[in-house]
Amino acid sequence: MTLSAAAGYELPLLLFGGFRAIIDELHGELARRGHQDMRPAHGFAMQAIGFRGATASEVGRRLGISKQAAGKTIERLEALGYARRAGDSADRRRKLTRLTPRGVEALALSAEIFDGIRDRWARTLGDDRVADLEASLRTMVPGETFRLDVPGWFGAS
């Protein structure tokens, strides 16, 4: 059709490659700083919990997964020491999940590492090209909420 410089299939590969490179670098650094057991999904789930805490249903809605799946992930986070559940006295159906100090630390550390990675990209590419890349993607990417249903989305039938 169009005489494009690049084959169309390269673009998604490059986008995913960039994502994966950043996330891998993040988790390499997290592991080096005492968070060996954190997985990519955990960071996103903790982000959804936030510093103010959330219920499993809220987390599920924020991440685009069922409340059951969110509950499982929270269970996992609890087992790893990143979150803790406690009853809500005002609404006795709810169980508010809060980040533990370790969870808060991991989240803060992640933000710091992400900034560092972006700095490195800016040093290599130039700050304007990174900003341009971000601007282009902001134009083309519709939603802004991150969906955690990656495994199911990618592979499920």
List residues binding a second copy (CB under 8 A): 1-2, 4-23, 26, 37, 39-41, 76, 110-119, 121-122, 124-125, 127, 129-134, 136-144, 146-147, 150-151, 153-157
- Helices (H), ranges, the chain: 10-32, 40-49, 56-63, 67-79, 101-125, 127-140, 150-155
CB of 92 to a second copy, least distance (A): 32
Q: Contact with DNA (CB under 7 A): which of 32, 39, 120, 129? A: 39
Q: Which residues pair with 96 in a beta bridge?
A: 86
CB of 68 to a second copy, least distance (A): 15
Q: Contact with DNA (CB under 7 A): which of 2, 4, 36, 157? A: 157
Residue 150 sits in the site that holds DNA (CB under 7 A): yes
Residue 143 sits in the site that holds DNA (CB under 7 A): no
Chain positions 100 to 129 lying near DNA, rule: CB under 7 A, are: none
Contacts of residue 78, defined as CB under 8 A and 6 or more positions apart, other chains included, come to 84, 85, 97
Length in residues, the chain = 157
Which range of residues in 10-18, 26-34, 118-126, 143-151 is near DNA by CB under 7 A? Answer: 143-151
Measured from the CB atom, the residue of 92 and 138 that comes closer to DNA is: 92
Residue 47 sits in the site that holds DNA (CB under 7 A): no
Q: 84 near 98, Cβ under 8 Å? A: yes
Residue 49 sits in the site that holds DNA (CB under 7 A): no
C-alpha separations of 43 from 4, 34, 69, 105, 112 in Å: 37, 14, 15, 11, 13
Which amino acid would we find at residue 143?
Answer: G
